[in-house]
Structure 1
């Protein structure tokens, strides 16, 4: 939301009308940036901006759709389709975007992950010299880091899991993996590739006629993560490689 407010302040004149299809905090940030906040398409807003807001009512979707059809520019803070909770996955901002996209038959300009503005703003604000982006989603967190040209750490405490990792396309390959954010305090996993096999720590995965084969027996989470990282290197090198048998043995990772 802060990135959206900062970016819009650079693009629009002070006093421009903004219809906020999101939280009160987003509206407050935009108001503080000098914009006039409106709640109806009849007010002829210059911009519609969407953000995550779980109690958003349906009438606001209608006003936003009408405003964009009336000529308002359309922006969104992020495109995360889901949001992890302790009860499971729930719809995220991307799901709300899809509601309007179904009507408008196009997509908004997005400030957040996986697009560059948010990460560039974060790097500027923190003055980071060697930034690393930590996240649980390949399609926003990790892809965003790739787009920004920085390192990334995929953690398995949220949306995406081991199968998502090994089938990820090149623009969503993390630099590192870990069980959770505490992996930042440990030495990074390094996998070594050689013809027909990959090794990470004490774990070894080989390519056979039947597909990937786990030579070792990883008992703990960290050992299984080593095996998964080795498997990922082989799977990314050969997208047709059968990996199901190895993934099944990595039963401590989601």
Structure 2
């Protein structure tokens, strides 16, 4: 599997499925160039949908946040893991059934939109417990949910992210909290959200996209989900997975296109030419020879062209039997200008 060539991505694909944390913003802080890049793409006719594993907020709240960062998002263009979790609940229980929520207003809103009745106690005999991230989730509400699950309620998790990028670093994600309830009850939840493919198709369908591209920063959720959904993807280096992670990615987590940030969405993408194990693009080249990475320039200050060459050469080498471990230290200094 190698990188693809394409014209300007915002023109080649009719819609973009944007991740939020690490792509559009980091906590409450904007990601550099996100607003201008998305504005240009939308202005050129590409549709947008904002897909997030964060179930804490309503689409209206997320839409307002995006617009405050100069990203031209409509509330109707936001698709959350809470919405996906509520849809999953409809597959297990009928509308009007009682549900218990481990989460916040975004999850309550999504379930009520589906016609469910949200209750406050395991003593109300809810048919389903749905758990989604919210910063106020603690022992009491998680324990109440565990009681309901132990009484027979179906257990649903809106996503299984272990961590959540914030301004100060990576903090506990919903998956880490779900593990506590799972450990207590012995019940494995039905899960939705990224990287499961269904949520990508749901998000694309919400804006009637025919040929979408997924844009993400995290290989094991954004990119793995896009690959499993059969959707091309653009990886940006503004969030969780860094350049070395991309170069050492397993086939199931390899993006179609690479860029430093969202400005790459409005640029043409030329893939490196692969000849044997050597990859070449724009005067740069890379090759793994007898387990050693050789390059045309210093990878600690790599151009985007060199970055793409290094990634393609690493994929070719690993797929040909070179151990990832042998490249790990060699790629430690890989930084993209």
Q: Same fold (TM over 0.5)?
A: yes
Matches within 5 A, 1:230-245: 230-237=312-319, 238-240=321-323, 242-244=326-328
Q: Deviations over 1:159-191 (max 9, x none)?
A: 111232223222111111211222111112412
**In structure 1, distance between residues paired with 2:282 and 2:97:** 56
> Once the 2 structures are TM-superposed, how far is the Cα of residue 111 of structure 1 from its aligned partner?
1.6
Deviates more, 1:44-53 or 1:97-106: 97-106
**In structure 2, distance between residues paired with 1:126 and 1:228:** 36
**What SS class does the counterpart of residue 247 from structure 1 fall into?**
coil
1:158 aligns with 2:256: no
1:228 aligns with 2:310: yes
Please name the residue that 2:162 is paired with.
81
Please name the residue that 1:7 is paired with.
88
Match of 1:39 among 120, 143, 158: 120
**What SS class does the counterpart of residue 331 from structure 2 fall into?**
helix
Q: Deviations over 1:141-162 (max 9, x none)?
A: 1111111111111211111112
Please name the residue that 1:247 is paired with.
331
> Once the 2 structures are TM-superposed, how far is the Cα of residue 198 of structure 1 from its aligned partner?
1.9
**In structure 1, distance between residues paired with 2:105 and 2:126:** 17
**In structure 1, distance between residues paired with 2:333 and 2:186:** 43
- Structure 2 contact 278–285 (Cα < 8 Å) conserved: yes
> Once the 2 structures are TM-superposed, how far is the Cα of residue 22 of structure 1 from its aligned partner?
0.8
The 1:95/1:239 distance shift into structure 2, 3 A limit, reads farther
How many positions carry a matched residue from both structures? 253
**What SS class does the counterpart of residue 79 from structure 1 fall into?**
coil
- Structure 2 contact 89–128 (Cα < 8 Å) conserved: no
> Once the 2 structures are TM-superposed, how far is the Cα of residue 4 of structure 1 from its aligned partner?
2.1
Unaligned segments of structure 2, at least 5 residues: 1-81
> Cα RMSD over matched residues?
2.1
**In structure 1, distance between residues paired with 2:330 and 2:285:** 11
Matches within 5 A, 1:5-154: 5-154=86-235
Q: What TM-score do you get using the length of structure 1 for normalisation?
A: 0.90
**What SS class does the counterpart of residue 89 from structure 1 fall into?**
strand
Q: What TM-score do you get using the length of structure 2 for normalisation?
A: 0.69
**In structure 1, distance between residues paired with 2:262 and 2:288:** 31
